Structures are given as structure tokens and as C-alpha cells.
Amino acid sequence: MRAVLQRVSRASVAVEGRVIGEIGAGLMILVCAMQGDGDDAPARLAAKIGKLRIFKDAEGKMNLSLRDVGGAALVVSQFTLAADLRGNRPGFSTAAPPAEGRRLYEAFAQAMRDEGFPVATGEFGADMAVSLVNDGPVTIWMEI
């Protein structure tokens, strides 16, 4: 699985003009299931994200985790993270097929909940409008 994490002071996602998910301080997580991702990938990704020390401590250093700051997660599926950019038009053949992608996306959102985080989500496969205030800015790409 691939993910882009953005430390945010707030974030929301809307479908057809209606907000379907929003959080205050925490992480905006764009996630993509890749071909070959095993059933353990969502839980491993959630555990890794929950422990990342990317929030400021009292001295302004990135020393605290999402758990330490009591943050939430807004999880949005984004198959374009699988983009193959060898040409001028991206290809997405390395993304998991839609049914598998949905299953792993939903499993990841649940794994974040199982880690104890409040989680809001987008709508898999929908045309979404994402709004966020990136705190820092801090943006991190990861793959598990």
C-alpha cells in the first residue's frame, strides 16, 4: 500500500457538494492499494502511521506521534498514487483492481480505528473535493 500523509490543522472531503468526512488536527491520509498487497498490509500501514513522530513537541521539534497528540485521521482512497510516469500520460496498472482496492482501503480505515484513532473517510471511487490546511507544511510519502 502507498500513502501520502499530510499533517493538518483541519481537513474535509465532500462528494457532490456535501461534506461526508472532516477532522480537526491530525493526518490527511491519501491511500492506494497496490497489486499484490497482502491482507496484512492495511494493519501494518496503520501501525506504522500511528507511531510516526511527525507532530511538534513543546520545543517545536517533530517528536510526537498521532497518538501522542490525540489526533484524528481523514482517510481518502487515491488510486493515482500508483501512477507510472514513464510517458506523458500516467498509467495506473499497478493499482489493485477496484474490488480489491475497495476492500483494502476499507480495511485500512478500520485498522486506523483499531489503533484507537478517530477516523473520517471519503467515498471509494467517487469524485471528491478535498480541503485541508497543511500544518507545517508536513507531507510524507510512504509505502508498506
- The domain spans of the chain are 2-137
Q: What is the pLDDT of residues 83-114, one digit of tens each?
A: 998 889 999 999 999 999 999 999 999 999 99
Q: pTM of the entire structure?
A: 0.95
Residue 88 CB neighbours (<10 A): 5
Q: What is the pLDDT of residues 60-88, one digit of tens each?
A: 999 999 999 999 999 999 999 999 988 89
pLDDT digits (tens, 9 = 90+) for 24-68: 999 999 999 999 999 999 999 999 999 999 999 999 999 999 999
- Alpha helices, H only, 1-144: 41-51, 66-69, 98-114
Collect all residues with Cβ–Cβ distance below 8 Å to 2 and sequence separation of at least 6: 31, 32, 34, 81, 82, 141, 142, 143
Q: Which residue's C-alpha cell is 482501503?
A: 105
The answer to whether 49 and 5 have CB atoms below 8 angstroms apart is yes
Active site residues: 78-80
Residue 87 is predicted with a pLDDT of 85
Which residues, including other chains, have CB under 8 Å from residue 18's CB and lie 6 or more apart? none
Q: Which CATH class is domain 2-137?
A: alpha beta
